[in-house]
């Protein structure tokens, strides 16, 4: 049975979040003593899909990366009670079973290790202020090697400082560097997505005008980058929109702090840049839904109509009178164009507007099933399809 005391602490922490203006007067409450295993039946999915628990004791589960031998690596950011976390987990599963039977801690003492990525068998971890590496990690799960510092030139600020990292098709490591504020003029190198060589050299900005991206992936057909971005808070219930952005090449500016979505201008910040200097969002999503991790579906288990589409985890709002989000979106893609989106999975938000889980990241298993991390419930779900 899960730890009820921890859930009570989480509820108390959420209830005490700061209030900023009328639009922040209420957030979803966390039901007392909720066991996610008993709430799975609340999740609504399209016909033929089912959800189960891949593992039910992964405190603060955030970004995920799948190893060649079936090990799922998971970063952490903050415990439900509010404390910053310092661990990276590994869930070994060499048989690729539907359930992982153990959780190992392969790294500890880190500075909010939200981001994880794998390259040539090495585990890369994105802390707030640096990127570190653990060599040949799957062969050393029970005696992890000492960390190696790859690059320590990142800002050491908490606000949007947690990193999402992934390796691109070009073999470079991409790192999201959030703006250290709700709304501000970012300092040099912040509000960007940067890339660097695996050894940490040749760091350069790939995309600018990015407030806080916590998820990106490359279209398997075009090898072009797509990423989510969270809009500013304390502006209104329904503005600005959350964004799905398309960055087919380096050097594009995606608007922050001057513009949001496709054409919404924030008059609080003047700029000499013209409309043509900005790249509009590919799709707009409801405000304050907190779009995080995302993956293109290139597995073989889901029906053909899902192949090449994009799945996005919505962490859910914290500053709306009526909470929104807490779901997984499906984006329909057509020849490299994001056509529209629909809700793929919902039910983490109850009819009483109480949330019992918050999806964070998405990863695919070798069999084509989908894993979803949840840092609030402290679990990893598995979504599978069987006609």
Pairing of strands 252-253, 259-260: unpaired
- By percentage, how much of the chain surpasses pLDDT 90? 82
- Confidence grade of residue 30 (pLDDT, cut at 50, 70, 90): very low
Residue pLDDT, tens place only, 111-131: 999 999 999 999 999 999 999
Q: How far, in Å, CA of 229 to CA of 274, rounded?
A: 21
Residue 338 has pLDDT above 80, yes or no: yes
Residue 342 has pLDDT above 90, yes or no: yes
Give 97-111 as a DSSP string. -SS----EEEE-S-S
Q: How far, in Å, CA of 350 to CA of 265, rounded?
A: 34
Q: How far, in Å, CA of 17 to CA of 9, rounded?
A: 13
293 neighbors 313 (Cβ within 8 angstroms): yes
242 neighbors 231 (Cβ within 8 angstroms): yes
Structure-token pair, residue 5: 């005391």
69 C-beta neighbours (distance < 10 Å), count:
14
Task: Read off the pLDDT of each residue in 157-161 and give the average, rounded to a whole number.
Answer: 93
Q: Under DSSP, is residue 43 helix (H, G, I), strand (E, B) or coil?
A: coil
338 neighbors 283 (Cβ within 8 angstroms): yes
Structure-token pair, residue 24: 């922040």
Q: How far, in Å, CA of 361 to CA of 76, rounded?
A: 11
Buried b (16+ CB within 10 A) or exposed e, 279-312: bbbbbbbebbbbbbbbbbbebebbeeebebbbbb
The answer for residues whose C-beta is within 8 angstroms of residue 357's C-beta and 6 or more apart is: 36, 39, 326, 348, 374, 376, 377, 379
Closest CA to 285 of 257, 307, 315, 250: 315
Q: Which domain holds residue 71?
A: 4-385
Q: Under DSSP, is residue 273 helix (H, G, I), strand (E, B) or coil?
A: coil
Residue 212: is the preceding peptide bond cis (ω within 30°)? no
Q: Residue 54 is part of a domain; what is its CATH number?
A: 2.120.10.30
Closest CA to 321 of 23, 78, 28, 2: 23
Alpha carbon distance, N-terminus to C-terminus of the chain: 32
Task: Read off the pLDDT of each residue in 340-368 and give the average, rounded to a whole number.
Answer: 95
- Confidence grade of residue 82 (pLDDT, cut at 50, 70, 90): confident
- Confidence grade of residue 10 (pLDDT, cut at 50, 70, 90): very low
Q: How far, in Å, CA of 83 to CA of 74, rounded?
A: 17
What pTM does this model have?
Answer: 0.91
Q: How far, in Å, CA of 286 to CA of 155, rounded?
A: 30
Domains in the chain, number = 1
* Residues 183, 319, 310, 56, CA torsion sign: positive
Residue pLDDT, tens place only, 270-317: 899 999 999 999 999 999 999 999 999 999 999 999 999 999 999 999
Task: Read off the pLDDT of each residue in 337-363 and give the average, rounded to a whole number.
Answer: 95
45 neighbors 369 (Cβ within 8 angstroms): no
Report residue 380: phi and psi, to 5°: -125, 125
Structure-token pair, residue 156: 């050491």
If you ran DSSP here, which 8-state letter would residue 37 be given?
Answer: H
92, containing H or E segment: none
Structure-token pair, residue 173: 């490591």
Provide the pLDDT for residue 11: 36
Provide the pLDDT for residue 34: 76
Question: Which CA distances in Å does 40 have to 31, 37, 72, 381?
Answer: 14, 6, 22, 9
Q: How far, in Å, CA of 174 to CA of 195, rounded?
A: 4
Provide the pLDDT for residue 113: 98
Closest CA to 38 of 377, 271, 386: 377
């Amino acid at each position: 049975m899960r730890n009820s005391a921890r859930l009570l602490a989480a509820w108390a922490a959420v209830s005490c979040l700061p209030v900023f203006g009328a639009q922040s007067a209420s957030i979803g409450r966390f039901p007392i003593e909720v066991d996610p295993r008993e709430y799975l039946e609340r999740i609504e999915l399209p016909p033929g899909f089912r959800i189960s628990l891949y593992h039910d004791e992964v405190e603060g589960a955030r970004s995920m990366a799948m190893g060649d031998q079936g090990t799922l690596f998971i970063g952490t950011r903050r415990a439900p009670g509010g404390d910053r976390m310092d661990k990276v987990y590994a869930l070994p599963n060499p048989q690729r079973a539907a359930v992982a039977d153990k959780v190992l801690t392969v790294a500890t003492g880190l500075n909010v290790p939200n981001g994880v990525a794998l390259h040539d068998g090495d585990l890369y971890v994105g802390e707030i202020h640096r990127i570190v590496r653990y060599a040949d990690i799957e062969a050393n799960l029970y005696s992890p090697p000492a960390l190696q510092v790859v690059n320590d030139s990142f800002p050491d600020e908490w606000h949007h400082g947690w990193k999402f990292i992934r390796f691109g098709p070009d073999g470079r490591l991409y790192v999201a560097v959030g703006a250290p504020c709700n709304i501000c003029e970012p300092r040099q190198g912040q509000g960007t997505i940067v890339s660097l060589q695996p050894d940490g050299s040749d760091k350069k900005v790939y995309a600018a005008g990015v407030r806080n991206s916590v998820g990106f992936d490359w279209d398997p057909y075009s090898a072009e980058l797509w990423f989510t971005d969270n809009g500013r808070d304390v502006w209104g219930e329904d503005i600005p929109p959350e964004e799905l952005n398309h960055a087919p090449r380096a050097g594009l500016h995606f608007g922050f702090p001057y513009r949001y979505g496709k054409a919404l201008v924030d008059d609080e910040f003047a700029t000499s840049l013209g409309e043509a200097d900005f790249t509009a969002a590919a799709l707009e999503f409801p405000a304050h839904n907190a779009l995080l991790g995302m993956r293109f579906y290139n597995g073989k288990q889901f029906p053909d109509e899902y192949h090449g589409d994009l799945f996005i985890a919505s962490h859910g709002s914290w500053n709306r009178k009526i909470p929104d989000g807490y779901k997984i979106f499906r984006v329909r893609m057509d020849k490299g164009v994001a056509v529209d989106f629909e809700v793929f999975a919902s039910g983490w938000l109850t009819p009483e507007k109480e949330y019992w889980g918050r999806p964070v990241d998405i990863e695919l298993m070798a069999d084509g099933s989908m894993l979803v991390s949840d840092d609030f419930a402290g679990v990893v779900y598995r979504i599978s399809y069987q006609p």
